Amino acid sequence: MGTELAKTNFFLEEVSCRVCQPLFLHMRQAGVDEGRLYEGLAIDVETLHNPRARMPWDVFAEMCDRAEGLAGPVTGAELLEGHRIIRAIAGLMTNPHLLYKAMNRWFGPSTFRIVEHSCEDLTNNRLRISLTIPPSYRDSPAFFRISGTIFTVFPRLLGQPEAVVQLEIAPRRCVYTIAPPPSRSLLARFRRGLRVFRSGRSVVEELGTQEDQLRASYQGLLQAHAQIKAQAGRLATINTLGRELTRHTELTQLVSTIMDVLRDHAGVNAAELWTRGRDDDSLRLMRTMGTPDTLEGPSESRPLIAGGRPTGRLDLWVKAECRDAVTLSAELTPWIALALENARSFTALEAHRTLLQDKVHALEQAEEALRQSKERYELAVRGSNDGIWDWSLDSGVVHYSTRWKQMLGCELTDVKETIPEWFDRIHPDDLVRVKRLLNKHLSGELPHFEAEHRMRHRDGKYSWMLTRGEAVRHPDGTPYRIAGSQSDITARKIAEDQLRHDAYHDVLCGLANRALFMERLERAIKRLNRRDDYLYAVLFVDLDRFKNINDGLGHLAGDSLLIELSTRLSGYVRETDTLARLGGDEFAVLLEDICSPLDAQRAAQRFQEALTTPFQLKGQEVFVTASIGIALGNRSYSGAEEVLRDADTALFYAKDGGRARHETFQRGMHLRAQARLQLENDLRRSVDRGDFHLVFHPIVDVESCEIAGFEALVRWMHHDRGQVSPEDFIGVCEETGLIIPLGKLVIEGACEAIAEWRQRHPELSPPTISINVSPRQLSAEGLVDDVRHALERWKLAPQLLTLEITESALLDDIDSSIQVLKDLKDLGVGLQIDDFGTGYSSLSYLSQLPIDALKIDRSFLRDMTSDTNQFNIVSAIITLAHSLDLEVTAEGVEHVAQLDELRRLRCNHAQGYYFTTPISSDQACALWRTGLMNPPSPAALPAPSPSAPCSEPGT
């Protein structure tokens, strides 16, 4: 208590020193007599002038009383100054840093540390100080008494007796809070504080008395404390060394540490450490320290026991004066035994831990793989958008996933976990098949369960589902569980139906297409082979001149016509019949179960009558006709292609017979079609081989009978049939397009003949050669280039070549034909209209054509001598030509009377059998050399065939 009293006085002196300086300065300025103020006080006057000097508390209190009595009345200004000084004194006392410094001086330096403080201005009148309490003071009763006294006095020192003082002692921290009431007169507070400090002086004196009474007992406590401290130091040393030993886990390092501890701390000179093996009870020497044989002192052997069992033995050798070391080593022995056991156990545990870590790592990898597999499965399920079902065959419980229920429009609680929830929703037509497939899989007949079926949606509609599953079986093969997925394939089924419909129906008209027609025709053929009372017919319908519709009105108008035509024809067929569009403007009708061939002819007649009503296209009335080929079913047909082929053949004969009619297939048509096909193949090979050659028919001047030129005609020497008439192959060449390479061959051959004749007789002027140009040649590109290249190759003048164009070739596209003729005319070749008068001649275009001559067809010359009309036509043609400054050539002259009439009508040239038949190149060269054509006698002329023209066409 004496120490505490001294600390308390020290603190009060600190306070008095800091407070009295500004107070007495104020008294001096107020005129207080300092002599009377200091009289009788045990204090040096110079102390007041030293801010660091300390003043006893009782002296300070006496001076305060004197100052209060000597001050007397003060003025308002002095009172205001006094308030300022007292306010500064109160601020000094509430400054946490000053308090911190004072308390450190009180309890000792670096004892307290301010953790948190807040000192606001005096208007708020709040002070909070947080201190950290060191462990040495935390449990001290003296600390609580002193701190309680100080914290109780502090508010009174500040003149705040009603202040709320809170002292909070927490582990390692003391929080002191002052919350004063609203501010009052600071001077009154300070005066009341001084009176409180005087009463505190008596408390300090009472504490001093108690200190004297306890001083004697305190000395005895100090001696006991010294003994306890020595014992505690030794125990602390043993505990420290023991804890240090038990921290080692490596056995070899632990043994070395044990020897170091025995030598450095226990004072052992030599020692041997023996340990017991785990598998047997034998001891083995682990480590030796020092040389026991050279020591004279006693030795001791101590067993090492850990966990109630011996773990080894420790042999110690010490000097006689070091017996205390034996006691210390004995106290360390349990720690050594425990450390050895821990180290050995740790070694085993470390190996076990490594094994466990490997297992844990393997388990973590397996868990991670399982997690990734689960994530992949869930992601795959979500990505596939499939429903999952799992059926336990033993319990009968079926788990349906949320997606499975959503696919049927059901809520989560609408579907129970039973198999009828699935089977009852399957379409009745599919249920038997689904159960059969499921049973086959469960019995092992099928490796997987897979079925496409319809499921009833919540709204009553059916959706197509694809259900897959696989059973899990016992070792004996008995299934006990089956799980799978359900996919909504409604969109796929709709697409398949649409694809199936599109595959068998025409996109434009919606009718059956060729594939569906041929399939049904195949069934009709098989039905005919099985039944004797069954008959069918195929009608092949093709529009006449449909190309003119597309060219004149456009393809959209053509499509509209086909659609309307399909609708119109559909009204004339039965439900058992099939109307199909094969492509373009070609239609086919399969008439099934007809009574006689007349039924097919009547159906064809009805179709043609249906087309008599005009179609409305783009505001115009369009009339359309169709040609129809009929093929009647019979057992000679083995496939649908044969029937359709014969119907197409009959269609060809219908078109060839004038269009807008129908023809029934006859056996001879097929033979002619085969012959035509063979002819076409032979033509292609002959064009490639060059089996064609030219003959030349002279063109004679009517007045002088001189040779005016030749017409080049192509001939075909067939390798099997011999000479083939142009009437048999020219039409086929026109249809197949072979007329273009054949016409090029004729142009080259004609130019080659002129060049050869000129080479034979360079002294003569070369004759002109006329070449027939077909409509296909005129409409195809390259005619002008072919003529130019031939003339340049054989170095001929263009005037030596004349091209004959028929009127029908000009009528197809008159504008483009005129342009081609102009290009040929610019090239320099001659141009001539062949067969004039037979092709719906347009006199308006005749004046626009860049031609040089007209050629009268042989049909007008045949009866001109006996038919006045024919004579007048020939006369008009010649007159017209001459009026247009054109020359005229008449072909088909067969007797002298015709020649005389032509001469009388002033025709320029003539050509026909009256003069000669077509001759070879050598004969033509010889005839040209003579220059004069002598007509043969009538007896020498061959008799013309009444069914064939007397002259043969060229190309």
What residues does 453 pair with on adjacent strands? 465
Judged on CB neighbours under 10 Å (0-12, 13-18, 19+), 364 is exposed
pLDDT tens digits for range 807-816: 776 666 677 8
Instruction: Judge whether residue 729 has pLDDT over 80.
Output: yes
pLDDT tens digits for range 824-837: 999 999 999 988 87
Mean pLDDT of 851-859: 91
Q: Lowest-confidence range among 306-320, 322-336, 809-823, 825-839?
A: 322-336
pLDDT tens digits for range 411-452: 888 888 899 989 999 999 999 999 999 999 999 899 999 999
pLDDT band at 34 (very low <50, low <70, confident <90, very high): low
How far is CA 622 from each of CA 557, 584, 812, rounded to the nearest angstrom?
11, 18, 20
157, two tokens: 């020192």
Residue 39 CB neighbour total at 10 angstroms:
9
Percent helix, strand, coil in the chain (nearest 5)?
A: 55, 20, 25
How far is CA 430 from each of CA 162, 464, 508, 625, 873, rounded to the nearest angstrom?
97, 11, 35, 51, 83
Mean pLDDT of 761-766: 89
How far is CA 38 from each of CA 12, 33, 34, 309, rounded to the nearest angstrom?
20, 9, 6, 84
- Does an H or E element contain 176, and which? strand 173-179
Mean pLDDT score across all residues of the chain: 76
With beta carbons less than 8 A apart as the criterion, state whether 953 and 714 touch: no
> Rounded to 5 degrees, what are φ and ψ at 345?
-65, -40
pLDDT at residue 326, as a whole number: 60
Q: What is the pTM of this model?
A: 0.44
Q: Lowest-confidence range among 18-22, 272-276, 374-378?
A: 18-22
pLDDT at residue 456, as a whole number: 92
- Does an H or E element contain 237, and which? helix 186-246
Mean pLDDT of 549-565: 88
CA end-to-end span of the chain:
152
> What is d(CA 732, CA 737) in angstroms, rounded to the nearest whole number?
8
Instruction: Judge whether residue 14 has pLDDT over 70.
Output: no
With beta carbons less than 8 A apart as the criterion, state whether 739 and 730 touch: yes
pLDDT at residue 657, as a whole number: 80
Residues 6 or more apart in contact with residue 51 via CB below 8 angstroms: 17, 18, 21
CA angle in degrees (0–180, nearest 5) for 655-954-821 = 90
Residue type, 283: L
- Does an H or E element contain 696, and which? strand 692-701
The percent of residues in the chain predicted with pLDDT above 90, rounded, is 28
What residues does 473 pair with on adjacent strands? 479
pLDDT at residue 184, as a whole number: 42
With beta carbons less than 8 A apart as the criterion, state whether 312 and 340 touch: yes
456, two tokens: 């009833």
Residue 393 CB neighbour total at 10 angstroms:
16
> Which DSSP string do the residues of 651-687 spell out, in sequence order?
HHHHHHTTSS-EEE--HHHHHHHHHHHHHHHHHHHHH
> What is d(CA 604, CA 597) in angstroms, rounded to the nearest whole number?
11
> Which DSSP string do the residues of 296-328 spell out, in sequence order?
-S-EEEEEEEETTEEEEEEEEE--GGGHHHHHH
Q: Pairing mode, if any, of strands 853-856 and 830-836?
A: parallel
Residue type, 89: I
pLDDT at residue 1, as a whole number: 39
pLDDT tens digits for range 38-89: 665 555 555 555 555 555 555 655 655 555 455 444 333 343 343 344 444 4
pLDDT at residue 655, as a whole number: 87
Instruction: Judge whether residue 170 has pLDDT over 50.
Output: no
Mean pLDDT of 353-367: 85
pLDDT tens digits for range 635-680: 989 999 999 999 998 998 888 888 888 999 888 776 777 777 777 8
Instruction: Judge whether residue 821 has pLDDT over 70.
Output: yes
Three-class SS state of 698: strand
pLDDT at residue 152, as a whole number: 45
> What is d(CA 120, CA 128) in angstroms, rounded to the nearest whole number?
9
Q: What is the DSSP letter of 48?
A: G
With beta carbons less than 8 A apart as the criterion, state whether 587 and 581 touch: yes
Instruction: Judge whether residue 27 has pLDDT over 70.
Output: no
> What is d(CA 626, CA 608) in angstroms, rounded to the nearest whole number?
7
Q: Pairing mode, if any, of strands 586-591 and 537-543?
A: antiparallel
Instruction: Judge whether residue 96 has pLDDT over 60.
Output: no
> What is d(CA 615, CA 624) in angstroms, rounded to the nearest whole number?
8
- List, in sequence order, the alpha helices (H) in 42-174: 57-71, 76-93, 96-107, 135-138, 141-157
Instruction: Judge whether residue 788 has pLDDT over 90.
Output: yes
With beta carbons less than 8 A apart as the criterion, state whether 316 and 268 touch: yes
The percent of residues in the chain predicted with pLDDT above 70, rounded, is 69
Question: Crossing angle, helix 251-264 and helix 323-384, to 10 degrees?
Answer: 150
619, two tokens: 């505001």
> What is d(CA 672, CA 678) in angstroms, rounded to the nearest whole number?
10
Instruction: Judge whether residue 188 has pLDDT over 60.
Output: no
pLDDT at residue 842, as a whole number: 61
Instruction: Judge whether residue 367 has pLDDT over 60.
Output: yes
> What is d(CA 464, CA 427) in angstroms, rounded to the nearest whole number?
10
Mean pLDDT of 167-174: 47
Helix (H) and strand (E) counts for the chain? 31, 29
> What is d(CA 806, CA 800) in angstroms, rounded to the nearest whole number?
20
pLDDT tens digits for range 613-623: 999 888 888 88
Name the residue with tokens 């197809």.
812
Judged on CB neighbours under 10 Å (0-12, 13-18, 19+), 696 is buried
Judged on CB neighbours under 10 Å (0-12, 13-18, 19+), 572 is middle
Cα 156 to the center of its chain, rounded Å: 83
Residue type, 708: A
pLDDT at residue 314, as a whole number: 80
Mean pLDDT of 185-191: 45
Three-class SS state of 867: coil
pLDDT at residue 183, as a whole number: 40
